[in-house]
């Protein structure tokens, strides 16, 4: 799936099913973070018209996802809990080279974003295939398709604007890094947990 090194253990779905209110709260905040991240990339690259145009659309979609999750939470009589930290994303962030030039930083940020989309997509696919709740199964299938498109958007811009960077090599390094990182996850009821 999207060339990730390690697939999630399907037993993670059983953990998720034991606490749907928690996974939905965590998921809602993942979508908020995805929208915020897209806006940060826009802020850092305002002169790139095509990138700004596409990432504005992407940010809108992430906010729509946030709204969709919130609607499910409300319909089920749950409460949207306080923002959850995403330890996986925080650890993945450490891969990014903060000392490089502007192009290198941008490529790293785009690849970091693509990786989160890829892993989210993998998790959503697993949920759509295995979760017993019919509404959520359909919901996660639709989101999987959307996040796969976002993955492509980020990778495409990394290649387009990373002229002096070996983008494929950097992606390979990130896949390795993530492959090690994810080994300690898959054990709790959060989207990346
Ligand atoms: Fe999303
Ligand atoms: Fe996304």
In a domain, 4, yes or no: no
In a domain, 171, yes or no: yes
Instruction: Find the domain containing 138 and state its range.
Output: 12-78+98-184
In a domain, 191, yes or no: no
In a domain, 110, yes or no: yes
Give the model confidence (pLDDT) of 14-60 as tens digits.
999 999 999 999 999 999 999 999 999 999 999 999 999 999 999 99
The structure's pTM equals 0.95
Percentage, residues of the chain above pLDDT 70: 99
Residue 146 CA to ligand 2 center (angstroms) comes to 7
**CATH at residue 16:** 1.20.1260.10
In a domain, 164, yes or no: yes
Residue 179 CA to ligand 2 center (angstroms) comes to 20
Ligand 2 is a single-atom ion; what residues have CB below 5 A from it? 34, 117, 147, 150
Residue 78 CA to ligand 1 center (angstroms) comes to 20
**Phi-psi category of residue 8: left, alpha or beta, with phi > 0 → left and psi -120 to 50 → alpha:** beta
Residue 34 CA to ligand 1 center (angstroms) comes to 7
Q: Report angle CA 30, 139, 6 to the nearest 5 degrees.
A: 60
Residue 122 CA to ligand 2 center (angstroms) comes to 12
Is residue 68 within 8 Å of residue 139, measured between CB atoms?
Answer: yes
In a domain, 93, yes or no: no
| Six token digits for residue 77 | 């009589």
Residue 56 CA to ligand 1 center (angstroms) comes to 13
The total domain count for the chain is 1
Give the model confidence (pLDDT) of 154-163 as tens digits.
999 999 999 8
- Nearest listed ligand to the Cα of residue 55: 2
- Nearest listed ligand to the Cα of residue 154: 2
| Six token digits for residue 79 | 């409460």
């Amino acid at each position: 799936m999207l060339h990730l090194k390690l697939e999630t253990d399907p037993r993670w779905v059983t953990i998720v099913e034991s606490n749907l209110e928690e996974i939905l709260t965590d998921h809602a905040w993942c979508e908020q973070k995805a929208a915020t991240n897209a806006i940060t990339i826009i802020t850092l690259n305002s002169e790139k018209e095509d990138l700004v145009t596409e990432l504005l659309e992407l940010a809108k979609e992430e906010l729509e996802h946030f709204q969709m999750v919130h609607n499910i939470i409300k319909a089920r009589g749950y409460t949207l809990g306080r923002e959850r930290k995403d330890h996986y994303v925080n650890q993945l962030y450490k891969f990014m080279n903060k000392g490089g030039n502007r192009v290198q930083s941008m490529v790293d940020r785009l690849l970091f974003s693509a990786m989160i989309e890829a892993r989210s997509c993998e998790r959503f696919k697993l949920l759509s295939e295995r979760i017993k709740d019919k509404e959520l199964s359909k919901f996660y299938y639709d989101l999987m398709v959307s996040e796969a498109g976002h993955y492509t958007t980020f990778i495409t811009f990394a290649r387009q604007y990373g002229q002096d960077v070996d983008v494929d090599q950097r992606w390979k390094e990130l896949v390795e890094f993530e492959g090690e990182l994810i080994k300690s996850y898959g054990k709790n009821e959060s989207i990346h947990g």
